[in-house]
């Protein structure tokens, strides 16, 4: 075995140990169970072991997060709505408390495939799907494929169309494919440390403790690959997004609730207008907040979902 081969095997072994430590709970001492007081569940998927929360009984609400978040984003929704509904919130492979395999490509279309596998293995029906950010194309892609299982859709700031011609997306894509981008994401943990905070308009709404719960799931370079990979897919998966957009007619007749933060600097109100044009019958509620509506307008949007469930 050459020196280079030995060095590679040593690095691979180190990475594997780190992943095992992260998965078996050694690095979850940071988890504040007063903020996240749920029973952790796991399911083995083809891509890896997925963590999820399953609380309450009744009609199913399935929460799908984006980046760099995880099911923690919906903690207050689960605590409140699980009194009346069965609330399920997943962590995508590579995020939150799910396994972070180094051989998973982390593309939205792969996450969507995982979600479909999760839905089918758990035999979920009559689902109210709640999506946000990258969770939009991930969740809606799965919902299009399993449209007979979907009863309603709740959409936070997101998209479902091509991105390759979007100048802002192109700038982000260029950075993420550079050495600087890799350094920022893998070395500095830039996405949860900086970008997440930037996505909150009223900074007082994101406590230091809550912010740490978005940072801690990514303690090392290996665990942050999921953040970099999905970031690179903002433009890299453009054709797949557009394909889903063209098939959205499979969901258009469902009741839709759009909950939108109008101070979002990236997924702006221009995106909202496109949704309104495509879904003229959707209920729309706009909020004076940033991208992470769930952190800033928590109670207002919980109430909106509850009312929407009762009326539809």
Residue 162 located in a structural domain = yes
The answer to whether residue 11 is domain-embedded is no
Question: What dihedral angle (degrees, nearest 10) is formed by the CA atoms of 271, 277, 279, 285?
Answer: 60
Average per-residue pLDDT in the chain? 93
Sort 215 into a burial class: Cβ within 10 Å, 0-12 / 13-18 / 19+: middle
Domain count within the chain: 1
Segment 204-231, tens digit of pLDDT: 999 999 999 999 999 999 999 999 999 9
Q: How far is CA 174 from CA 50, 85, 133, 170, in A?
A: 31, 43, 20, 6
Task: Give mean pLDDT, residues 137-166.
Answer: 98
C-beta neighbour count of 216 within 10 angstroms: 17
Domain that holds residue 179: 31-311
Q: At what angle do helices 108-121 and 238-246 cross, to 10 degrees?
A: 50
Q: For 27-54, what is the mean pLDDT?
A: 95
Q: Look at residues 301, 212, 225, 295 and name the one whose alpha carbon lies nearest to residue 257.
A: 301
Helix (H, G, I), strand (E, B) or coil at 73: helix
Least confident of 11-15, 67-71, 112-116, 117-121: 11-15
* Assigned domain for 149 exists: yes
pLDDT level of residue 27 (50, 70, 90 thresholds): low
Whole-model pTM? Answer: 0.92
Please write the tens of the pLDDT for every residue from 70-82: 999 999 999 999 9
In a domain? residue 5: no
Q: Identify whether the C-beta of residue 206 lies closer than 8 Å to the C-beta of residue 171.
A: no
CB 194 within 8 A of CB 2: no
Give the pLDDT confidence of 230-281 residue by residue, as tens digits: 999 999 999 999 999 999 999 999 999 999 999 999 999 999 999 999 999 9
Contact 218, 227 (CB under 8 A): yes
Rounded to 10 deg, the angle between the 238-246 and 135-145 helix axes is: 50
User: Around 123, how many Cα atoms within 13 Å sit in the side-chain half-sphere?
Assistant: 0
Which region, left, alpha or beta, applies to residue 233 given φ > 0 means left and ψ of -120 to 50 means alpha?
alpha
Q: What is the pLDDT of residue 28?
A: 83
- Residue 264's alpha-carbon distances to 71, 153, 270, 289, in angstroms, are 21, 21, 11, 7
What pLDDT is recorded for position 287? 98
**Helix pair angle (225-236, 167-176), 10° resolution:** 140
CATH code, 118: 3.40.50.1820
Asked whether residue 2 is assigned to any structural domain, the reply reads no
pLDDT (tens digit per residue) in 81-112: 999 999 999 999 999 999 999 999 999 999 99
Assigned domain for 25 exists = no
Predicted confidence (pLDDT) at residue 119 exceeds the cutoff of 50: yes
Give the pLDDT score at 203. Answer: 96
Distance CA 256, CA 273 (A): 15
Does residue 1 form part of some domain? no
35 touches 216 (CB < 8 A): no
Residue 46, SS3 per DSSP: coil
pLDDT tens, 279-305? 999 999 999 999 999 999 999 999 999
Handedness of CA 96, 98, 101, 107 (dihedral sign): negative
Q: Residue 3's pLDDT is what?
A: 44
Q: How many residues does the chain have?
A: 312
- Residue 3 placed within a domain: no
CA distance 1 to 261: 56
């Amino acid at each position: 075995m050459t020196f280079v081969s030995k060095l590679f095997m040593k690095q691979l072994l180190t990475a594997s140990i780190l992943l095992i430590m992260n998965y078996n709970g050694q690095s979850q001492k940071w988890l504040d169970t007063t903020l996240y007081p749920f029973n952790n569940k796991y399911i083995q998927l083809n891509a890896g072991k997925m963590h999820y929360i399953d609380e309450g009984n009744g009609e199913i609400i399935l929460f799908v997060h984006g980046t760099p978040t995880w099911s923690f984003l919906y903690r207050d929704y689960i605590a409140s709505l699980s009194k009346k509904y069965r609330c399920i919130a997943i962590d995508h492979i590579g995020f939150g408390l799910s396994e972070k395999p180094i051989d998973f490509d982390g593309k939205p279309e792969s996450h969507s495939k995982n979600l479909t596998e999760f839905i089918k293995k758990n035999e979920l029906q009559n689902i109210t799907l709640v999506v946000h950010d990258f969770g939009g194309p991930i969740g809606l892609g799965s919902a299009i494929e399993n449209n007979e299982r979907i009863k309603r859709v709740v959409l936070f700031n997101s998209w479902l169309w091509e991105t390759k011609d979007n100048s802002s997306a192109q700038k982000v894509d260029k950075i993420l494919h550079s050495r600087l981008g890799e350094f920022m994401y893998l070395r500095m943990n830039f996405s949860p440390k900086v970008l997440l905070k930037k996505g909150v308009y009223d900074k007082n709404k994101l406590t230091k403790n809550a912010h740490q719960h978005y940072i801690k799931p990514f303690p090392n370079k290996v665990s942050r690959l999921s953040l970099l990979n999905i970031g690179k897919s903002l433009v890299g998966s453009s054709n797949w997004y557009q394909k889903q957009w063209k098939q959205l007619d499979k969901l258009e007749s469902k009741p839709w609730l759009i909950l939108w933060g109008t101070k979002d600097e990236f997924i702006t109100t221009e995106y909202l207008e496109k949704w309104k044009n495509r879904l003229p019958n959707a209920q729309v509620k706009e909020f004076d907040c940033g991208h992470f509506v769930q952190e800033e307008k928590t109670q207002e949007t919980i109430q909106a979902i509850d009312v929407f469930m009762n009326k539809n």
